[in-house]
Each structure stands twice: as C-alpha cells, then as structure tokens.
C-alpha cells in the first residue's frame, strides 16, 4: 500500500481509538501504542515500512498541536519539575554520557595521531632523501600515490577481516572479536612488510 492509504488507515484507527480511550479513562497515546503492538503480532497484518519524513512532517506536528491545545497551564505548573527533568535533565544526562564515552576514546585517538605523525614525516624524509632535486616532484607524487593506494587497500582488507569475523562470531562478543582479529592482522602485515623491506637490496654507496 502507498503512503496515502496508510495515512487513511492510521487516521481511522486514531478516530476509533481516541474516543474509546476517553471512555475507558486511558491515555490515548498509550492505547494507540498497545493497539499497534498487538496488531504487529497478527499474522495477516501487512508489514509496514514507514518513511521517517512522513512521520516527522505529516503525523507528529498535528499530534503536538492537539496536545498543546489540550495542555492545562495549571497542570503544567504543577508538573514543572517532571517536565524540566524530561526536557532539560534528560538532554543534559544524555550529552554527558556521550561526552564521557567520547573522552574514553581520547587517549587512544591521541596515541594513534602521535604515532601517525611520528612515522609519516620520517618516512617521507627517508624515501626522498636521495632523490635528485630535479626529480623531487615526480618522486613526491609517486610517494603520495603509493600512500593513498596503500591506505585504500589496507582499509579494504581490514574491513574484510572485520566483517568476516563479525559474521562468524555470534553473540555479544562479535565486535570485540572482530577488533582483535583486525589488530592481529595489522600486526602480522606490519611484521611481514618489515621483513620484505629488510630483504630488499640496498643502494650501493658511491665508488662501490
């Protein structure tokens, strides 16, 4: 069914259930939620995939407007503590929780940034140290291209390892196991390339 039919059915359910909620003395949103949950367990009931923009633009504003018209200023003043806790306290609490989690990531990100800065600068200087001045531009372009290709290939391989382990490991330990597998893969690749570099023939000094 299309969006128009869904909205008509939804409006019909609201028209039927809202007066019923007032008659039995139950909050209409609570009755609507219960009815939606019960309807989702009916085998013959179709599965709906609703566009969030339809809810945000077409459904939520009328509900908020109707709730605002029915809101009593006396009740709002009486429940100002609960309203303040939900509208301000919950937002502040969620922000603090996200900030604390992000702060836990700062040491690792700082260590990673320092390691990249301390490795890439000497790497560039070492690679281009013996390049003649006339070929410095071409050598720098080749080095940058190699780094970009290596980064893309590394991200692809690490992602392949991560999602492979994630798919093969059931339960809540899937993500930690995938991260551990990626870490071992990076360490093994680093050791392998270090051995390959050591096996490469060095440049002979002048006069030899």
* CA 65 – CA 70 distance, rounded (Å): 9
Distance CA 161, CA 150 (A): 16
pLDDT digits (tens, 9 = 90+) for 124-137: 777 777 788 788 78
Candidates 189, 168, 54, 183; CA nearest to 108 is 183
Tell me what pLDDT residue 138 has: 84
Residue 178: Cβ-neighbour burial (10 angstroms; 0-12, 13-18, 19+): buried
pLDDT band at residue 142, thresholds of 50, 70 and 90?
A: confident
Q: Are 32 and 11 in contact (CB under 8 A)?
A: no
The predicted-structure confidence for 83-112, as pLDDT tens digits, reads as follows: 888 888 888 888 888 888 888 878 888 888
Average confidence score pLDDT of the chain:
81
8 A C-beta contact, residue 84 and residue 77: no
Structure tokens at 28: 């209409």
Query: pLDDT of 23-80, one tens digit each?
Result: 888 777 788 888 888 877 877 666 767 777 877 888 788 877 877 777 777 877 888 8
Is the model's pLDDT at 204 over the cut of 60?
Answer: no
pLDDT band, very low/low/confident/very high, at 203 (cuts 50, 70, 90): low
């Amino acid at each position: 069914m299309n969006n128009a039919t869904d909205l008509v059915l939804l409006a019909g359910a609201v028209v039927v259930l809202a007066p019923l909620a007032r008659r039995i003395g139950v909050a209409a949103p609570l009755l609507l939620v219960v009815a939606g949950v019960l309807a989702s367990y009916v085998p013959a009931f179709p599965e709906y995939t609703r566009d969030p923009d339809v809810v945000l633009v077409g459904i939520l504003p009328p509900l908020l407007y109707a709730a605002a018209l029915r809101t009593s200023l006396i009740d709002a003043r009486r429940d100002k503590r609960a309203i303040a806790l939900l509208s301000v306290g919950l937002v502040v609490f969620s922000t603090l929780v996200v900030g604390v989690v992000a702060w836990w990531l700062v040491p690792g990100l700082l260590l990673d940034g320092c390691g990249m800065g301390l490795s890439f600068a000497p790497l560039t200087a070492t690679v281009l140290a013996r390049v003649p001045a006339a070929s410095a531009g071409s050598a720098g372009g080749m080095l940058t291209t190699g780094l970009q290709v290596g980064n893309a290939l590394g991200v692809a391989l690490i992602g392949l390892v991560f999602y492979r382990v994630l798919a093969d490991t059931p339960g809540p330990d899937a993500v930690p196991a995938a991260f551990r597998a990626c870490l071992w893969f990076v360490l093994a690749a680093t050791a392998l390339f270090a051995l390959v570099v050591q096996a490469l023939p060095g440049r002979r000094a002048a006069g030899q």
